Chain A
Amino acid sequence: DVKVTQSSRYLVKRTGEKVFLECVQDMDHENMFWYRQDPGLGLRLIYFSYDVKMKEKGDIPEGYSVSREKKERFSLILESASTNQTSMYLCASGTSGGDEQFFGPGTRLTVL
């Protein structure tokens, strides 16, 4: 079974803090993704990576950065957290040729 894990299920941070969200997958997938999910807006792609050290902006990259130093790990960084970044963050992975994406359990981030 594919397993995607995320470092925290719930996180509470203060405005201005730097926040790291970690994601690890164990299936040797080339592609990894970070989404945020908000009511009524669905999943929106923040960043994705198709290889180690490679990244591309998704639809809403502003205020976020990412890091992929190893194939299995993809980190999302909020340089200076703001209240409008309160959301559910979902990491996913998938093969380069496949369409299916496998999701982690999500991190519910609250920024006060």
Chain B
Amino acid sequence: RKEVEQDPGPFNVPEGATVAFNCTYSNSASQSFFWYRQDCRKEPKLLMSVYSSGNEDGRFTAQLNRASQYISLLIRDSKLSDSATYLCVVNMDSSYKLIFGSGTRLLVRP
């Protein structure tokens, strides 16, 4: 079983739609959680951290469910520019080592 699992997609949605991605992780002792965004042929960049209380940044909302060991990312009012691959990232043991999921691809169409 992979340490961090994501649905690879692609999720193909119209502009203005709401879309949600889930990610599951295997280590219940995991400490920190993140969503990174990677545009085609570009490097990954931090989108947002995920806190136990959940957090929101504009149209983006991230939530953590420790009991079920999953994190989610909700994107409201999708824009064409949201088209990218979204990487779920977990720090499992408070070290500097991050575990990356293989990503969920989002395509937003006009």
Partner of A105, one of B43, B97, B103: B43
Is A94 touching B96 in the complex (CB atoms < 8 A)?
yes
Complexed CA–CA distance, A31 and B91 (Å): 15
Q: How far is the CB of A10 from chain B (nearest CB, A)?
A: 11
Chain B 57-97, CB-CB to A under 8 Å as 1, else 0, gives: 00000000000000000000000000000010001000011
Partner of A50, one of B43, B96, B103: B96
Contacts of A99 in B (CB 8 A): 32, 34, 49, 91, 96, 98
Closest 10 CB pairs of A and B: A42-B102, A103-B43, A43-B100, A42-B100, A99-B32, A31-B96, A100-B46, A103-B44, A99-B91, A105-B43
A interface residues (Cβ-Cβ under 8 A, vs B): 31, 35, 40-43, 45, 48, 50, 58, 90, 94, 96, 99-101, 103-106
